Amino acid sequence: MNTKDIWSNGRLRIEIEESEIPWLKIFTIESYREMSLVPREIRMEIYALLDLIESEMLKYYTPTKINIASFGNYLPHVHWHIMARFADDSYFPEPMWGKKQRSSNLKLPSFEIFIDGLLEKIED
């Protein structure tokens, strides 16, 4: 695992994206260019992780919105971004790749505590 990885099961891994907002990424270990090329059982694992991460972010952070994205234009390897967005984050309502709207100093609950709780749920 690299230093930003927080979890792996040999088929998938979860990585932290350094940001002012809570932002995780799910990657397939094996490289697939498109979601339809991912074996069905791994796709189902991805969807379950997306659902769990979104639910846990909603409960823990009560964000304005959760953004889930899968682009892969620069990195043609199936991966998903899950981001908790807030009306006063630096980019809202733009995507995190968009034009910065303001300077922001979000005061959010501990990301480390969130990750610890999330990992407990994943391991259940």
pLDDT score of 51: 98
pTM of the model: 0.94
pLDDT score of 71: 82
- Cα dihedral: 45, 2, 99, 76 (round 10): -60
pLDDT score of 50: 98
Neighbours of 22 (CB within 10 A): 26
CATH number, domain containing residue 42: 3.30.428.10
| pLDDT tens figures, 6-55 | 999 999 999 999 999 999 999 999 999 999 999 999 999 999 999 999 99
pLDDT score of 3: 63
| pLDDT tens figures, 55-111 | 999 999 999 999 999 987 777 899 999 999 999 999 999 999 999 999 999 999 999
Structural domains of the chain, count: 1
Residue 2 has pLDDT above 70, yes or no: no
Q: Note down the domain range covering 87.
A: 5-123
DSSP for 75-90, written as a single string: S-S-EEEEEEE-TTSS
- The rounded distance, in Å, linking the Cα atoms of 46 and 24 is 13
pLDDT score of 107: 97
> φ, ψ for residue 54 (rounded to 5)?
-60, -50
